């Protein structure tokens, strides 16, 4: 049957693979199984076979593609520069079109309509906060319990960032992507972003007209839903000097908006991850360096920061400016197994990768970890519990600034001269 939608992987994307195999050792699913069909090269060959009419989009093909994390660790090493993430999203959109199912319809609703509705998310998150408080989340089925055990406490959350407007604007203007669950479950991260960007002299607005960026829908092959969300965000972020997201998965997706919306290039070209914005502000002297020695901190590289955006230096620079000695957890940058819905859809592989990451963290002996992606944070907390404190690099940095200011004020009171 071949391809049936306009989302399909293009010949150019598929023909770029020269089958060298350099990507295989870096692919987490290949390392877990040793199977060619669980490798980037094998998956691209399966896509080629469908294109050429040699293979159907059947259950086997769907399983091969579902088992992929979409971590894109295969991209940076690829001599053919295969845009693997794009090809995978297109292939998954084909699967949704050619193998419709109740599961795909439910996920399309959840990733499009639910994540796009701020009111519904707010009510749901408030209820989830009560369930957490009453420890009802411990009664959830196992695959969902792993998700809820990684959440931060939701009761007594700070205010949502969406609708915020403030800051001088001397350094320029920023449109903040508040995010869907990011602004419900990770408000301290968004609040830290606002405080730091305004401290640096930016005008920061989180426009009310925005919605979910659509990353989860795109990664799951729900292309119409991803396009609808991008069509709302594109005009909402018109006019800002830069557009900033506080979760690496969201910033990576915004940077690829040229594919998802008419005039999406205008969003993509102005979008950056918050770690890049803050590291640049420190480098330009708009934000301070803390001189105190705050000890060691582990750094985890989210795949959508390290592989999709090739950003690694900036979160480390932020932590060093916060007075920390950065400890490398995993120089190879293996996926932690969070990967959007992967935790729920592929629980065994997700848990195995989460446990491997937890062991890497334990072996360093650090008690603090920085991660610039909320899904990774939840996955690691789920595996480690209270053993290690995990937060976004900008939250560690803002805390270090505030602690340094408190010390200065206390010293001034003790020594008024
Ligand atoms: S995206 Fe990740 S899991 Fe999928 S083929 Fe590439 S390296 Fe392997
Ligand atoms: S590294 Fe690139 S060209 Fe080589 S097998 Fe992997 S995807 Fe194909």
Query: Would you write out the chain's pLDDT as a tens digit for each of its 417 residues?
Result: 799 999 999 999 999 999 999 999 999 999 999 999 999 999 999 999 999 999 999 999 999 999 999 999 999 999 999 999 999 999 999 999 999 999 999 999 999 999 999 999 999 999 988 888 888 888 777 777 777 889 898 887 888 999 999 999 999 999 999 999 999 999 999 999 999 999 999 999 999 999 999 999 999 999 999 999 999 999 999 999 999 999 999 999 999 999 999 999 999 999 999 999 999 999 999 999 999 999 999 999 999 999 999 999 999 999 999 999 999 999 999 999 998 899 989 999 999 999 999 999 999 999 999 999 999 999 999 999 999 999 999 999 999 999 998 887 776 666 655
Does any domain span residue 266? no
Ligand 2 atom closest to 77 (CA) = 1
Q: Is the CB of 41 under 6 A from ligand 1?
A: no
Q: Which two tokens stand for residue 347?
A: 């629980």
Ligand 2 atom closest to 39 (CA) = 6
Does any domain span residue 391? yes
Distance 210 CA to ligand 1 centre (A): 31
Does any domain span residue 336? yes
C-alpha pair distances (Å), 106 with each of 101, 110, 220, 221, 342: 9, 6, 12, 13, 16
Does any domain span residue 257? no
Residues written for the chain: 417
Q: Is the CB of 43 under 6 A from ligand 1?
A: yes
Tell me how far apart the alpha carbons of residues 154 and 176 are, in angstroms, rounded to a whole number: 22
Place of tokens 């086997």: 60
Q: Is the CB of 81 under 6 A from ligand 2?
A: no
**Which ligand has an atom closest to residue 65 CA?**
1
Whole-prediction pTM value?
Answer: 0.94
Query: Structural domain of residue 31, as residue ranges?
Result: 11-99
Q: Is the CB of 154 under 6 A from ligand 2?
A: no
Among 99, 131, 158, give the residue marking a domain's end.
99
Q: Is the CB of 71 under 6 A from ligand 1?
A: yes
CATH of the domain at 94: 1.10.1060.10
Tell me how far apart the alpha carbons of residues 249 and 339 are, in angstroms, rounded to a whole number: 9
Does any domain span residue 17? yes
Q: Which two tokens stand for residue 181?
A: 């669950």
Does any domain span residue 353? yes
Pocket test for ligand 1, best of 67, 74, 335 (most atoms within 8 A of CB): 74
Q: How many domains does the chain have?
A: 2
Of 266, 272, 110, 259, nearest in space to 177 by CA: 272
Q: Is the CB of 40 under 6 A from ligand 1?
A: yes
């Amino acid at each position: 049957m071949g391809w049936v939608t306009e989302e399909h992987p293009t010949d150019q994307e598929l023909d770029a693979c020269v089958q060298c195999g350099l990507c295989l050792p870096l692919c987490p699913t290949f390392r877990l199984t040793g199977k060619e069909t669980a490798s980037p090269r094998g998956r691209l060959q399966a896509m080629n076979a469908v294109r050429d009419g040699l293979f159907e989009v059947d259950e086997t093909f769907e399983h091969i593609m579902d088992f992929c994390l979409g971590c894109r660790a295969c991209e940076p090493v690829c001599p053919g520069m295969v845009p693997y993430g794009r090809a995978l999203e297109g292939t998954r959109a084909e699967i949704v079109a050619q193998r419709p199912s109740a599961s795909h319809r439910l996920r399309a609703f959840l990733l499009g309509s639910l994540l796009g509705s701020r009111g519904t998310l707010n009510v749901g998150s408030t209820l989830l906060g009560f369930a957490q408080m009453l420890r009802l989340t411990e009664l959830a089925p196992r695959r969902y319990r792993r998700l809820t055990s990684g959440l931060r406490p939701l009761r007594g959350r700070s205010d949502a960032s969406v609708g915020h407007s403030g800051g001088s604007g001397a350094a320029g203007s920023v449109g903040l992507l508040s995010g869907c669950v990011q602004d419900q479950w990770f408000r301290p991260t968004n609040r830290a972003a606002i405080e730091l960007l305004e401290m640096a002299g930016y005008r920061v607005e989180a426009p009310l007209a925005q919605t979910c960026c659509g990353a989860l829908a795109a990664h799951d092959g729900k292309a119409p839903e991803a396009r609808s969300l991008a069509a709302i965000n594109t005009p909402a972020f018109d006019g800002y000097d830069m557009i900033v997201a506080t979760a690496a998965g969201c910033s990576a997706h915004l940077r690829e908006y040229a594919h998802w919306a008419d005039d999406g290039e205008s969003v993509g070209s102005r979008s950056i991850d918050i770690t890049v914005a803050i590291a640049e502000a420190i480098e330009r002297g708009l934000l301070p360096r803390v001189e105190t020695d705050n000890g060691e901190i582990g750094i985890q590289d989210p795949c959508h920061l390290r592989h999709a955006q090739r950003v690694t230096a900036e979160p480390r620079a932020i932590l060093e400016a916060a007075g920390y000695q950065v400890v490398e957890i995993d120089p190879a940058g293996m996926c932690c197994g969070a990967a959007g819905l992967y935790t729920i859809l592929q629980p065994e592989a997700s848990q195995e990768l989460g446990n491997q990451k937890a062991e890497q963290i334990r072996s360093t002996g650090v008690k603090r970890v920085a991660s610039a992606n909320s899904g990774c944070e939840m996955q690691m907390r789920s595996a480690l519990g209270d053993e290690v404190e995990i937060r976004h690099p900008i939250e560690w940095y803002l805390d270090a600034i505030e602690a340094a200011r408190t010390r200065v004020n206390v010293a001034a009171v003790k020594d008024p001269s």
